[in-house]
């Protein structure tokens, strides 16, 4: 069970990726972002190289769609992948392969995408999109995977949730980005932490 949001704030140019999963180490695999370039979420039999490769392609002038197409073209396992990319201009590309564990899907909007797999209901990603659309509170809304998706997901138990925010190139507050981590390892024991990167 994994669900995530990848987004660009049009007011500031900041990128963010939030993910919740029952898999450990999602922070090393799913979220990728670079100031002035873009953001990526790669999940569902994730290929971690999608993150840095997509960012490199966009850094060299490719759109989010062109970067996605290039990655999928050379990946024999593309039908098992779920990927979302947001580019520097807010352009969005998404892919949910036919072999992703059901229920799986995505919904893209202006400057963002939400995606989920191993869900109990096909209402998860539309609910996440409805919760995110329209109010411009991008980095407050990045908490929505947990708030909106959790009541609709199968009961597999939260193991780890990650929020990664990458600032714009001229953004003193988020110039290096930060991770906010929420993890539950046993019962109701919750641990939180924030790391500047």
CATH for 97: 3.60.20.10
Could you list the residue range(s) of the whole structural domain that residue 13 is in? 2-196
**Contact residues for 182 (Cβ-Cβ < 8 A; gap 6+):** 146, 158, 160, 161, 190, 191, 192
pLDDT band at 95 (very low <50, low <70, confident <90, very high): very high
Tell me: pLDDT of 41 over 50: yes
Tell me: pLDDT of 138 over 90: no
In a 3-state reduction of DSSP, which class is residue 58? helix
What is the mean predicted confidence (pLDDT) over 134-158? 48
Better pLDDT: 192 or 18: 18
Tell me: pLDDT of 108 over 90: yes
Give helix 50-59 / helix 64-73 axis angle, nearest 10°: 130
CB atoms within 10 A of CB 124: 28
**Per the structure, how many domains does the chain have?**
1
CA distance linking residue 151 with residue 164, whole number of Å: 23
Better pLDDT: 179 or 26: 26
DSSP, res 157:
-
What is the mean predicted confidence (pLDDT) over 163-179? 55
Tell me: pLDDT of 47 over 50: yes
């Amino acid at each position: 069970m994994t669900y995530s949001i990848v987004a660009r704030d049009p007011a500031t140019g900041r990128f963010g990726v939030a993910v919740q999963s029952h898999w450990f180490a999602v922070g090393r695999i799913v979220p990728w972002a670079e100031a002035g370039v873009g953001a990526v979420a790669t999940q569902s039999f994730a290929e971690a190289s999608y993150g840095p490769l997509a960012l490199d392609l966009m850094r060299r002038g490719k759109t989010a769609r062109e970067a996605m197409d290039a990655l999928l073209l050379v990946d024999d396992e593309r039908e098992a992948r779920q990927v979302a990319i947001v580019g520097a201009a807010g352009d969005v590309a998404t892919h949910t392969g036919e072999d992703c564990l059901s229920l799986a899907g995505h919904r893209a909007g202006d400057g963002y995408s939400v995606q989920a797999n191993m869900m109990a209901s096909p209402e998860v990603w539309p609910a996440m999109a409805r919760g995110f659309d329209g109010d411009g509170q991008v980095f407050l809304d990045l908490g929505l995977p947990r708030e909106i998706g959790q009541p609709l997901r199968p009961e597999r138990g939260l193991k780890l949730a990650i929020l990664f925010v990458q600032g714009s190139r001229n953004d003193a507050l988020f110039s290096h980005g930060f991770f906010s981590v929420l993890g539950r390892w046993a019962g109701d024991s919750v641990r939180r932490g924030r790391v500047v990167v």
